Amino acid sequence: MYLGVDCGTQSLKVIAWEPDSASLVSSSQSYDLIAGLPPGHKEQHPQDWIEALDACMDRLAGLGADLSRARAIGVSGQQHGLVLLDRSDRVLRPAKLWNDTSTGIQCRRILEAAGGLDAYREEIGNSLPPGFTASKILWAREHESDIYHRAETMLLPHDYLNLHLTGEKTAEAGDASGTGYFQVARRSWSDRALGWLDPQRDLRACLPRLIDAREPAGQLRPSLARKWGLPDGVRVSSGGGDNMMGAIGSGNVSGGKITVSLGTSGTLYGYSSTPVLDPQGEIAAFCDSTGGWLPLACTMNVTVATEMVRSQFSSATLEEFNQRIEEVPPGAEGLILLPYLEGERMPNVPEGTGVLLGLRPRTARPGHLARASMEGVTLGLRYGLDRLRELGARADEIRLIGGGSRSRVWRQIAADVFGCPVVSLSQEEGPAFGAALQAAWCREEQSLENWVDGYVRLDETTRQLPTRSGRELYEEVYSVYRKLSDTLISSPVFAGHRQLINRKD
């Protein structure tokens, strides 16, 4: 048995997978963001992840999982978050998360220290959106100086969970490449970038030891093994970011495939055997968690936008929500949603807000708003796919993961917008399954390609092909969408609107 842990923004999931019997048991526990923070601030208590992990492990045995058979554990974690620990490894403050856009000023200061964006990209290989970890460190230095100077360890969420499991402080290239102080092409921490955050302090001493993707982070603590009913000697793999584990879980460990995750955020990525550096800085140049690279496009607003519409305007179940969308013709009769609800990462508009174009009495209905939200977030992802193709990625097939992949109407929208066949997976566990596969690879002699080829299954009943009429329509809609986005990005409207809603009076 191999266990996969996925620590997400809204919940933590654990799966217990036995490849010989094809048995897969899963348990999940939800938690919340910290309420009442100013706009753009997104934080969470790391203790919530630990308590959720305990709850899930306790449930698995009751669901029929024989945990005494476990051999290895892999952890997938939400990327870019910052966990600060003191000298006794106690958490000093809540973790600032990937979708925290409050650090735009710090990003600008880091780039100034680097000598400009081009110099920064030359050192790191990436641009510096507010979501990356680096600006969170500078934010802590500037806003919470006492906590910053007491911090002796700085970890990503999945690294923190590995520390909890093993007592070891490790990091691997996949998740580390989203920090903003990691050289993607060389797979190493950047002393220069760390110096831009604090020239007076040796921040490298605060970072965990880098390990290879197949190298174990350590062994499960005996106390946790006894608590959960696991045997001695359970190995904990290096783990990785949720996108890296999603790539493994969707079988994306070779060229020709693009994985699209329709979750809270939206991501598109594909395997590369060499670094893929975007001169425009829009595609993240990430390492993967197999020893290769994972060029990735990310938008911050996907199911967060569809759920906003569902909860505020339709009050429908998911099934009813999808039915209402199917009753509205493609293109929502001219209603377009630009879904930059609380800022956006691609394009980089941290001060962005949502915009509706084409609102009139006929389109001001729940079904039209629902369809516009689903189409709008998919059109946003289309830009990322186009950039990946321009950089040499081949997209023979799109593999959909995340909650949105279960929607038939969304799959058809995606096929028509992307102009490519789309298919979902038989396993709906996504990054958790990828973490379990990586754990098996870490423990056993078999190659990762063999694990993926042997156990990643596509659900052919979900395969949908682009239609000619759909492709032609969405090409027109996409053209309007891009013009709207470009016009607003270059306008002071976004910044002025954000200043207005942030006024304390």
Interstrand relation of 397-401 and 422-425 (parallel, antiparallel or unpaired): parallel
Q: Is 437 helix (H, G, I), strand (E, B) or coil?
A: helix
Q: Check whether the bond before 347 is cis (ω within 30° of 0).
A: yes
Which single residue is written with the structure tokens 């996108």? 243
The one catalytic residue in 6, 48, 175, 242 is 242
What are the structure tokens assigned to 157, written together?
A: 């969420």
- Going from the C-alpha of 219 to that of each of 4, 54, 172, 438, the distances in angstroms are 15, 17, 16, 15
- Residues 167, 146: Cα–Cα separation, whole Å: 26
> What crossing angle do the helices spanning 157-166 and 46-62 adopt, rounded to 10°?
60
How many alpha carbons lie under 13 Å from residue 65 in its C-beta half-sphere? Answer: 26
Q: Is 172 helix (H, G, I), strand (E, B) or coil?
A: strand
- Residues 400, 390: Cα–Cα separation, whole Å: 21
Which single residue is written with the structure tokens 């600006």? 135
DSSP-derived secondary structure letter, 30 = E
Q: What is the largest CA-CA distance in the chain?
A: 65
DSSP-derived secondary structure letter, 465 = P
**Is 89 a known active-site residue?**
no
- Residues 162, 168: Cα–Cα separation, whole Å: 7
How many alpha carbons lie under 13 Å from residue 196 in its C-beta half-sphere? Answer: 26
Q: State the first-to-last Cα distance of the chain, in angstroms, to the nearest integer.
A: 58
Q: Is 16 helix (H, G, I), strand (E, B) or coil?
A: strand
Which single residue is written with the structure tokens 């799959």? 411
Q: Assign residue 270 a region: left if phi > 0, alpha if psi is -120 to 50, beta otherwise?
A: beta
What are the structure tokens assigned to 475, written together?
A: 């090409």
- Residues 455, 109: Cα–Cα separation, whole Å: 47
**Contact of 190 with 271, CB cutoff 8 Å:** no
Active site residues: 242
